[in-house]
């Protein structure tokens, strides 16, 4: 059987080799002691802990603890830079690691009591006991689960990404190990059924456990006298626990104790983070522990709604498997834990000043890579220095031979000094789904749909750190242009000149667009009900529903900048977000970050006069006008084959439509337009493939019949011949799009044919509340070049007096003599 270590070597040789070197350095003192002639003596140790009281560490745990591998975690803060906001929250990951070992022991003792009770009452279906080998392996997993963290904890993660948004030169081999992290993560997903996908730090920790130096330490009988299983198997058991493996190499029902939705890791960090930050979350750890159970899961006691569990039971040995779960009487305590975690995210992890500090640290690391024109190596990222020393190295206050930097002071230097001196960036602009301004008069449901669609567009783009940097750089450029324009117009020169000078000095690196990741998972823990049934419970507090509500109502992004430039960056952020996303935030957003009235109307008027913005943008920025949604290229659902022939077709059509639909469309109408256009494209393709190009078309009624059939084939709701606007319309599709069909014979210029068709459709569109009129024009082409399918679609203005309606024309030839000839593509 192929061992996990062999698998790692085959898919990630560079990562494995570099981690072997690092772990060998960190464990060298312990290995030397183990190989010395005189046998070393390791003794247990008792640690006084503020959360769990007295925690007893076993001799081999003490041996590992007293090595640089784990001692370096003393200087890696558990909460990154949160101590700049919550002074007590300066605890390191070493404290958390020891706490997790204590929490694992508490969980194991609780489960042993539950197993004893169960086996006493259910002698026919006993639960497996927890062996010493199980206990030792799980405690080691707790001790090692965080060793994959580098400086600044989660703020370091962008540096681990394969693509470096700020490094222009090729990173060469330094990217290989980063790419291999992704490969190993995919391999873990293939080999294991997981509670959740492992993070980069968990992947690195697992690879460290599988390293050759770690194997040598764990295999030593001088250190580990009670291993209870072959060392390769022990490594796999530890890895399965760290990554949350439910099934796979080394995985068992006990693996979830270390990594799952109710694991020892969460039990410790929630209590510890709340304790050190001074925030009370108030969940009953003792009661929750007393309600944990090892569940005896078989097909007969699994609820009928849990098909995956029943299938797993049926394929298991004796049609039974065991899994960590909770008794129904523990629901209240579990919900308290979920609510407490939510509270900490809102009040601690996502506090705006914590976010500012962590955004600065992320930007700092990326800019430092850019300035030295190379990515950080693995041994540089895991340099054995604490977070503060790393900041001082990056601030060029101290040097380290293992961490070379550009010799000249740079933007990275300024960012590092800002963190060290707590000169954190300030909020100039806030964006949130709830803040998106909607036109007055919309009903609540439509307004909510619009905000949700716009917000998801924003989030989709800003999830990319490279996009965030580029938008920040654009805000910086626009802010400078605004300052120059205002000074040229002699508007508030005493404010604008120092702002302009400060902007020139700080550069785009200190204009940071930040959006927090959203972490909420569906509840997957199993529960045993009083009647013996086992299923995934339904709680009154549902984290997924909370996440959906939080996404639109509370998840907030910010544009951070130095205090001196807040007014101009606030203005520039509004301009850039309007131009890039087609949105303005309501006045509530300015009030939320205490920047109300920071951008006076005189500035906006001056920018119009200087032609920095147009009157349309000025009305939006003055809250006098609010648009609906602008169309995006992907909203138009253009077929891939058409895009291959004309790569710009989708973006061109979207641009032309947006120029005519100045007030935008509702989310509902955009979705409907995409569905209708999908049917239109299919109709055009069918027209070409069915031979209609060379056949005669008798009249408009025959055309309408074919068009109507195309919509009905897509199951789109249609109205034909309804009376509206003083006449009978042709087709009204999906409650949003008006279709006019026109038939003509031979024409000299198809572009000028039926010019009034759009206007005719407009009167029906006004009566029905539609913004888009599709005109399907069939014309005879006895000779000449047959246009390609993608060239049959064009956008036209209906009338200059209507600033929010557009015509999409579909011009289809019939009766052609030479259908094989198509226009060049």
**pLDDT by residue (tens digit) across 638-678?**
999 999 999 999 999 999 999 899 888 888 899 999 999 99
Of 621, 645, 665, which residue sits at a domain end? 621
Mean pLDDT of 813-823: 64
Look at residue 335 in the predicted model and tell me its pLDDT: 87
Same domain, yes or no, for 446 and 397?
yes
* Residue 790 located in a structural domain: yes
Tens-place pLDDT, residues 101-135: 999 999 999 999 999 999 999 888 899 999 999 99
Look at residue 821 in the predicted model and tell me its pLDDT: 44
* Residue 313 located in a structural domain: no
Look at residue 172 in the predicted model and tell me its pLDDT: 52
Tens-place pLDDT, residues 55-91: 999 999 999 999 999 999 999 999 999 999 999 999 9
Same domain, yes or no, for 237 and 372?
no
* Residue 341 located in a structural domain: no
Tens-place pLDDT, residues 627-640: 788 899 999 999 99
Q: Tell whether the model's pLDDT for residue 770 goes beyond 70.
A: yes
Strands of 292-298's sheet in order across: 292-298, 320-327, 526-528, 534-535
**Domains of the chain: total:** 3
* Residue 335 located in a structural domain: no
Q: Tell whether the model's pLDDT for residue 169 goes beyond 50.
A: no
Q: How far apart are the first and last CA of the chain?
A: 56
Mean pLDDT of 222-249: 91
Look at residue 124 in the predicted model and tell me its pLDDT: 86
Q: Grade residue 519 by pLDDT with cuts at 50, 70 and 90.
A: low
CA geometry: angle at 682 spanning 680 and 688, to 5°? Answer: 105
Mean pLDDT of 447-453: 87
Mean pLDDT of 162-175: 60
Look at residue 171 in the predicted model and tell me its pLDDT: 47
Tens-place pLDDT, residues 374-429: 888 899 999 889 999 999 999 999 999 888 888 888 889 999 999 999 999 999 99
* Residue 169 located in a structural domain: no
Same domain, yes or no, for 150 and 93?
yes
CA distance 281 to 137: 31
Q: What is the CB neighbour count within 10 angstroms for residue 817? A: 12
Same domain, yes or no, for 569 and 643?
no
| Summary mean pLDDT of the chain | 89
- Give pTM, 2 decimals: 0.85
> Who contacts 615 (Cβ-Cβ below 8 Å, separation ≥6)?
608
Tens-place pLDDT, residues 720-751: 877 765 678 889 999 999 999 999 988 878 88
Of 255, 270, 303, which residue sits at a domain end? 255
Tens-place pLDDT, residues 773-817: 999 999 998 677 889 999 999 999 998 887 789 999 999 999 887
Look at residue 144 in the predicted model and tell me its pLDDT: 98
CA geometry: angle at 584 spanning 582 and 590, to 5°? Answer: 155
Mean pLDDT of 21-27: 97
Same domain, yes or no, for 598 and 563?
yes
- Pairing, β 426-432 against β 53-57: unpaired
Secondary structure (3-state) at 551: helix
Same domain, yes or no, for 212 and 189?
yes
Same domain, yes or no, for 560 and 644?
no
Same domain, yes or no, for 30 and 134?
yes
Of 592, 621, 650, which residue sits at a domain end? 621
Positions of E strands within 219-331: 245-247, 292-298, 320-327
Same domain, yes or no, for 10 and 106?
yes
Considering the chain, what percentage of its residues have pLDDT values greater than 70?
A: 95
Same domain, yes or no, for 637 and 609?
no
Secondary structure (3-state) at 784: coil
What secondary structure letter does DSSP report for 199?
Answer: P
* Residue 323 located in a structural domain: no
Look at residue 824 in the predicted model and tell me its pLDDT: 41
Would you list the DSSP string of 35-71?
A: HSSSPP----EEEEETTTEEEEEPHHHHHHHTSHHHH
Instruction: Provide φ and ψ at 285, rounded to 5°.
Output: -65, -40
Q: Tell whether the model's pLDDT for residue 304 goes beyond 90.
A: no
CA distance 587 to 565: 20
CA distance 384 to 675: 57
Same domain, yes or no, for 609 and 643?
no
Look at residue 823 in the predicted model and tell me its pLDDT: 44
Tens-place pLDDT, residues 552-599: 678 899 999 999 999 999 999 999 999 999 899 999 999 999 998 899
Domain with 40, as residue range(s), is 1-163+174-255
> Who contacts 784 (Cβ-Cβ below 8 Å, separation ≥6)?
816, 818
Among the residue ranges 61-65, 158-162, 186-190, 600-604, the one predicted with the least confidence is 158-162
Q: Tell whether the model's pLDDT for residue 228 goes beyond 50.
A: yes
Same domain, yes or no, for 23 and 123?
yes
């Amino acid at each position: 059987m192929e061992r996990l270590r062999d698998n790692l070597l085959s898919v990630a040789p560079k990562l494995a080799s570099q981690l072997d070197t690092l772990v060998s350095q960190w464990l060298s003192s312990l290995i030397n002691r183990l190989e010395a002639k005189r046998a070393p003596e390791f003794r247990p140790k008792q640690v006084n802990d503020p959360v769990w009281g007295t925690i007893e560490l076993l001799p081999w745990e003490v041996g590992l603890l007293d090595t640089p591998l784990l001692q370096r975690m003393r200087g890696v803060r558990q909460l990154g830079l949160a101590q700049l906001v919550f002074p007590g929250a300066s605890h390191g990951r070493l404290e958390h690691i020891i706490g997790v070992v204590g929490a694992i022991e508490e969980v194991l003792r609780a489960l042993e009591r539950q197993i004893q009770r169960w086996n006493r009452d259910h002698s026919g279906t006993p639960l497996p006991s927890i062996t010493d080998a199980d206990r030792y392996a799980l405690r080691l997993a707790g001790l090692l689960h965080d060793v994959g963290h580098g400086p600044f904890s989660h703020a370091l993660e962008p540096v681990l990404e394969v693509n470096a948004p700020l490094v222009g030169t090729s990173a060469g081999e330094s990217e290989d190990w980063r790419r291999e992290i992704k490969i190993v993560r995919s391999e873990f997903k293939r080999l294991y059924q997981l509670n959740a996908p492992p993070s980069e730090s968990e992947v690195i920790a697992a690879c460290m456990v599988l390293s050759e130096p770690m194997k040598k330490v764990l295999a030593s009988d001088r250190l580990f006298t009670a291993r209870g299983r072959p060392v390769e198997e022990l490594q796999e058991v530890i890895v399965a626990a760290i990554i949350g493996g439910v099934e796979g190499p080394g995985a068992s029902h006990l693996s979830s104790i270390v990594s799952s939705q109710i694991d020892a890791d969460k039990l410790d960090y929630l209590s510890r983070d709340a304790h050190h930050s001074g925030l009370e979350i108030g969940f009953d750890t003792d009661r929750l522990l007393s309600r944990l159970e090892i569940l005896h899961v078989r097909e007969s006691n699994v609820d009928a709604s849990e098909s995956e569990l029943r299938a797993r039971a049926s394929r298991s040995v004796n049609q039974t498997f065991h899994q960590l779960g909770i008794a129904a009487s523990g629901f209240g305590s579990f919900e308290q834990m979920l609510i407490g975690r939510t509270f900490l995210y809102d009040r601690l992890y996502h506090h705006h000043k914590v976010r500012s500090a962590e955004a600065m640290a992320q930007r700092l690391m990326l800019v430092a890579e850019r300035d030295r024109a190379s990515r950080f190596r693995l041994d540089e990222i895991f340099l054995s220095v604490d977070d503060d020393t790393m900041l001082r190295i990056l601030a060029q206050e101290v040097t380290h031979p293992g961490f070379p930097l550009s010799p000249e002071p740079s933007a990275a230097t300024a960012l590092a000094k800002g963190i060290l001196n707590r000169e954190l960036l300030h909020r100039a602009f806030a964006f949130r789904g709830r803040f998106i301004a909607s036109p007055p008069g919309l009903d609540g449901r439509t307004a909510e749909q619009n905000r949700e669609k716009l917000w998801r567009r924003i989030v989709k783009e800003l999830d990319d750190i490279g996009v965030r940097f580029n938008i920040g750089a654009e805000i910086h450029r626009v802010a400078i242009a605004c300052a120059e324009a205002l000074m040229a117009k002699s508007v508030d020169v005493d404010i604008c000149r120092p702002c302009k000078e400060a902007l020139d000095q700080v550069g785009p690196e200190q204009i940071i667009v930040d959006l927090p990741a959203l972490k909420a998972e569906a509840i997957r823990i199993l529960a045993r009900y009083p009647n013996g049934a086992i299923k995934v419970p339904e709680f009154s507090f549902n984290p997924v529903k909370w996440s959906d509500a939080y996404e639109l109502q509370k998840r907030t992004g910010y544009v951070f900048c130095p205090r001196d430039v807040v007014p101009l960056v606030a203005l520039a952020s509004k301009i850039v977000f309007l131009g890039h996303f087609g949105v303005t935030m309501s006045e509530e957003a300015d009030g939320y970050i205490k920047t109300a009235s920071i951008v006076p109307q005189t500035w906006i008027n001056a920018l119009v006069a200087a032609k920095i913005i147009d009157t349309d943008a000025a009305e939006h920025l003055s809250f006098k006008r609010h648009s609906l949604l602008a169309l995006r290229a992907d909203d138009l659902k253009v077929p891939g084959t058409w895009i291959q022939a004309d790569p710009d077709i989708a973006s061109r059509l979207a641009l032309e439509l947006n120029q005519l639909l100045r007030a935008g469309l509702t989310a509902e109408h955009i979705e409907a337009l995409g569905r209708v256009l999908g049917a239109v494209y299919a109709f055009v393709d069918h027209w070409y493939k069915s031979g209609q190009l060379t056949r005669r078309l008798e009249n408009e009624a025959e055309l309408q019949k074919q068009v109507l059939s195309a919509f009905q084939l897509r199951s789109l709701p249609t109205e034909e011949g309804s009376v509206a606007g003083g006449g009978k319309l042709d087709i009204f599709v999906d409650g949003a799009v008006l279709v006019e069909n026109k038939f003509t014979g031979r024409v000299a210029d198809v572009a000028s044919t039926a010019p009034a068709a759009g206007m005719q459709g407009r009167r029906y569109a006004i009566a029905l509340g539609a913004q888009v009129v599709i005109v399907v024009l069939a014309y005879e082409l006895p000779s000449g070049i047959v246009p390609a399918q993608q060239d049959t679609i064009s956008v036209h203005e209906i009338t200059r007096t209507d600033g929010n309606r557009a015509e999409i024309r579909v011009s289809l030839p019939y009766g052609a003599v030479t259908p094989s000839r198509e226009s060049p593509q």
